[in-house]
Amino acid sequence: MPIIMTERTLKPKRPSLRRSLQAVAGTSALIIGLLSLLLPSPYLVESPGPIFNTIGEIEDQAVISVNGEETFPTEGSLNLTTVFVAGAPTSTVRVPEAVTGWLNPGTDIQPHELIYPSGTTAEQVQQQNTAAMTSSQDLAVAAALNELGIDYDQQLSVIDFTAEAVEVGTDDQLQPGDQVTAAAGSSITGLQGLRDAVNTAAGQPVALTVLRDGEELDYEVPTYQEADGDYYVGIMLGNEFVFPVDVDIELDGVGGPSAGLMFTLGLVDSMTEGSMTGGEDWAGTGTVDPDGTVGPIGGIAQKVVGARSQGIENFLVPAANCAELDGRVPDGLATYAVEDVAEGHAIVEAVRDSDEDFLAGLEPCGS
């Protein structure tokens, strides 16, 4: 018997309006979800960057060159460490990159507004990093000469005031050009000494001594607290140095102030007979003041990971950063807390000499 196909059999069934709307909604949600992956993320991604040997060469060019003082051959390495920072305003971080960063134990994610105020441009970031690197090199030369007992001239001078300082009247007391010589009754030779005195004042006025037109003047300067928990006087300061040696530091593409400690140790090693490291490979980080004080930096967790990935086994850490390394020190890396250049110098030589008694007395840094 032939099969008769009716119109009803051949005509497709029309979907209901509800199912059509559900399909459209599902497709729209999928498209929106995919598009959201392409949107910029409001975060900065910090990851390990390369390391550079301050007593070595880059493309046959010595990183540190000294004229006016005898230098000596070196061994091993004293590496400064860096951090890659991706995100606005210098680049774009997409949502998947931010999520990957959250999952990577060697990477940190920061809201970019905490690092760069709204409206900051890529050019401003570049200028700030370049200026900070130039300043860190001058401070490193000063700290190295201080460690070597070589005299030089320095002035820490007022340049300008923040809006907060103007509001509380600091600019009615101090003037641009004032040379700041003491804080809270103690002589200061760099920014760290001033920071310490202001934070100790904890919101109360801090006593500053300045030299103006050859006259020494004392002022009680107001302090205020910022969102980061630290206290400030709102004075923009500049360091001016006159060195008896000419130091040239060649390192393109690296910005910021955190190379100070390793530049300093590299200079001390180069200007001292014998090898500071004894052939060992070291890395480290930290700002430095002319008196040798080592200050904290950002990205310490990424820097230790970057150093260890290059085979480094010993790392100098600013003491103030040690708490950030709890649970984040890579296996096989020994980390040493450093308060000042002299301590960092002594630690490197103690490892070189296998001075177990000296090393046993050091506080652990991270875990």
Report, at the CATH architecture level, how domain 45-148+244-361 is classified.
Answer: 2-Layer Sandwich (3.30)
CA dihedral 133, 137, 142, 145 (to 10 degrees): 150
Please state the separation of Cα 99 from the chain's center in Å: 24
pLDDT (tens digit per residue) in 319-362: 999 999 999 999 999 999 999 999 999 999 999 999 999 999 99
Q: How many CB atoms lie within 10 A of CB 70?
A: 9
Sign of CA dihedral 284, 286, 290, 293: negative
Residues of the chain by 3-state class (helix, strand, coil), percent to 5: 35, 30, 35
**The pLDDT of residue 135:** 79
Superfamily of domain 153-242 in the CATH hierarchy: PDZ domain (2.30.42.10)
Burial class (CB in 10 A: 0-12, 13-18, 19+), 69: middle
| φ, ψ at 107 (rounded to 5°) | -125, 145
**The pLDDT of residue 242:** 87
**Do the two domains 45-148+244-361 and 153-242 of this chain adopt the same fold?**
no
**The pLDDT of residue 149:** 95
The ranges assigned to domains in the chain are 45-148+244-361, 153-242
Spans of the chain below 50 pLDDT: 1-12, 21, 24, 28-30, 32-39
